[in-house]
Amino acid sequence: MGTTKVLYGTESGNAELVADEVAETLDAAGVKAEVVAMDIYDVTELSEAGFVVVITSTYGEGEMPETTAPFQETLLEARPDLSGLRFAAFGLGDSTYDTYNNAIAVLSSDLVALGAQRIGETGRHDAASGESLTEVAVAWAAGILDLL
């Protein structure tokens, strides 16, 4: 397996923090990982990526954050064949909103609609829980390692 891209989309920086921790967890287990902001990632590379991790927060009332929106828009316009792609997904949200973790649900659905296969359960962090964002993400990433 080549370098696993850990793609993140964020509004306030929390998803980038999670991406860094997930990449460190993967690296420590021998899976080379590179963190890349979604807004600078070329979606046409997804069809050849093999495996990626996607991490995004949900902004406002269920919207895509600033750096996820361009990625999703380009993905839906380009519509690459992702039948050879496997991905793991992690979302950040706040369960006090009706649209809790909506962005990762929509993005995952878009990837699957283009042929990608999600592995494992979608990880989710709830800001209202009081749990450590990075601890939840690292525990989730460790579980994903068993599926690679």
Return d(Cα 57, Cα 44) in angstroms, integer: 23
DSSP one-letter code for 142: H
Q: What's the CA gap between 68 and 74, in Å, rounded? A: 10
Q: What is the pLDDT of residues 72-81, one digit of tens each?
A: 999 999 999 9
Q: List, in order of start, the domains of the chain with CATH numbers.
A: 4-145 (3.40.50.360)
Say which DSSP state 29 is in. Answer: T
Mean pLDDT by 10 residues, the chain (148 residues): 90 94 96 96 94 94 90 95 97 91 95 97 93 94 88
In whole angstroms, give the CA distance from residue 106 to residue 86: 16
For the stretch 41-79, pLDDT in tens is 999 999 999 999 999 999 888 889 999 999 999 999 999
pTM for this entry? 0.95
List the alpha helices (DSSP H) in 1-148. 14-28, 46-49, 69-78, 102-113, 133-145
